[in-house]
Structure 1
Amino acid sequence: MIITASVALTGLLLAIVSAIWIHYESLRYLSVRLSNVPIKPPLRLVLGVFGVFVAHVLEMLVFAVLYLSLIPFERFGGLQGNFPVNFVPNFADAFYFSCITYTSLGFGDIVPTGWIRLIAGLEALLGLVLITWTASFLYLEMTRYWQEH
């Protein structure tokens, strides 16, 4: 039990740190690069939105990989839903579950069990924080570009 908890929590911590790092570096890169691109401000904002969208997808991928790493071991729990008997969720299932969790869309057709419930709950909280961070970033970028224009 202690080993199971340690592995699950270590994986969770690594996923959280990785997602925050990806987000920070993406926002920093976009902030520096977009100001140096010789294009009109509206197009800069579109590129910024696309850039943060890619960052969010990468962050969801981090959690999808974590789910896929833990699912084969029954002691961590799994993903349950309207799957056939003895079905093992694949990458698409794990990524879909990560997307609906990260965006706080909510569970319906796939439900976590065991330790994966804790991971999913904290992924939802992290998604909320990072999406809010993105909104703040885009607001500041819009303010900066509108002052130039």
Structure 2
Amino acid sequence: MIDLLAWTIAAVMVAVSVLVHFETMTLISDRVVPWGVRRKQGRRTLVFALMALMLGHVVQIWLFAVAIRVMLWFPAFGGIGGGFEGKVGDYLYFSAVNYTSLGYGEVFPVGSIRALAVTEALTGLMMIGWSASFTYLKMEQLWQSRATRPKDHPGHRP
């Protein structure tokens, strides 16, 4: 029964993560790099867009860290072994290592909490891939905008 609950929590975290990521990309599309707008956009725009995407990933890592902390309040979910001391930074580190699929191995999940750990890894891979695809589309938009500028435009480069 506890395994089913762990997988349910993991599924909820996937949904939350997708929503956070979608809203982050919507904000970028509506405010930072709007679709179809032909205005001067360049390095600064791209830096802001990438910073916003990164912030979205960081928010997701924090949310998973909170979920891990809440689950560990209940011993039935298991624990985290290795060099884990239970400090805020430990939860964030464990979450970030899972989210990025880095997997150093010096901290590791034990018990049913593994469901959340592996789900976070898969979710992170999907969200990072989604960010890469989104960034490519936005860069393509910026490049097309620059290519269609009149030749006499001050920002035009041959």
- Fold shared, TM-score > 0.5 on shorter chain: yes
- How far did residue 39 of structure 1 move? 5.7
Contact 1:76-1:115 within 8 A present in 2 as well: yes
Tell me: CA distance 1:117–1:129, structure 2 relative to 1, closer, same or farther (3 Å): same
In the superposition, the TM-score normalised over structure 1's length comes to 0.88
> What does residue 152 of structure 2 align with?
none
**Which amino acid is the alignment partner of residue 87 of structure 2?**
N
Pair 1:125 & 2:125 matched: no
Work out which of the residue numbers 137, 140, 148 in structure 2 matches 1:143.
140
Q: Which residue identity is paired with 1:25? A: E
Query: SS at the partner of 1:115?
Result: coil
Instruction: Name 2:111's counterpart in structure 1.
Output: 114
Shifted more, 31-40 versus 99-108: the winner is 31-40
Q: CA separation of 1:77/1:107 partners in 2, compared to 1, >3 Å: closer, same or farther?
A: farther
How many Å separate the matches in 2 of 1:116 and 1:39?
A: 48
Q: Deviations over 1:50-86 (max 9, x none)?
A: 0000000001111100100011222101111135xxx
Distance 1:61 1:39 in 2: 35
Q: CA RMSD in A?
A: 1.7
Q: Provide the rounded CA distance (Å) in 2 between the counterparts of 1:90 and 1:71.
A: 12
Unpaired segments ≥5 residues, structure 2 = 147-158
Separation (CA, whole Å) in 1 of partners of 2:87 and 2:72: 10
1:30 partnered with 2:28: yes
Q: Which has the larger radius of gyration?
A: 2
Q: CA deviation at 1:109?
A: 1.4
Q: State, as a whole percentage, how many aligned pairs show the same letter.
A: 35
When residues 108 and 66 of structure 1 are mapped into structure 2, their CA distance, relative to the original with a 3 A threshold, is same
Q: Determine if contact 1:68/1:90 at 8 Å carries over to the other structure.
A: no
The unaligned stretches of length 5 or more in structure 1 are none
The SS at the match of 2:108 is: strand
Q: Distance in 1 between matches of 2:41 and 2:141?
A: 13
- Which has a greater percent of helix? 1
Residue type of the alignment partner of 1:108:
G
Q: TM-score scaled by structure 2?
A: 0.84
Distance 2:33 2:59 in 1: 23
Whether 1:99 aligns to 2:96 is: yes
Give the Cα separation in 2 of the matches to 1:118 and 1:8: 6
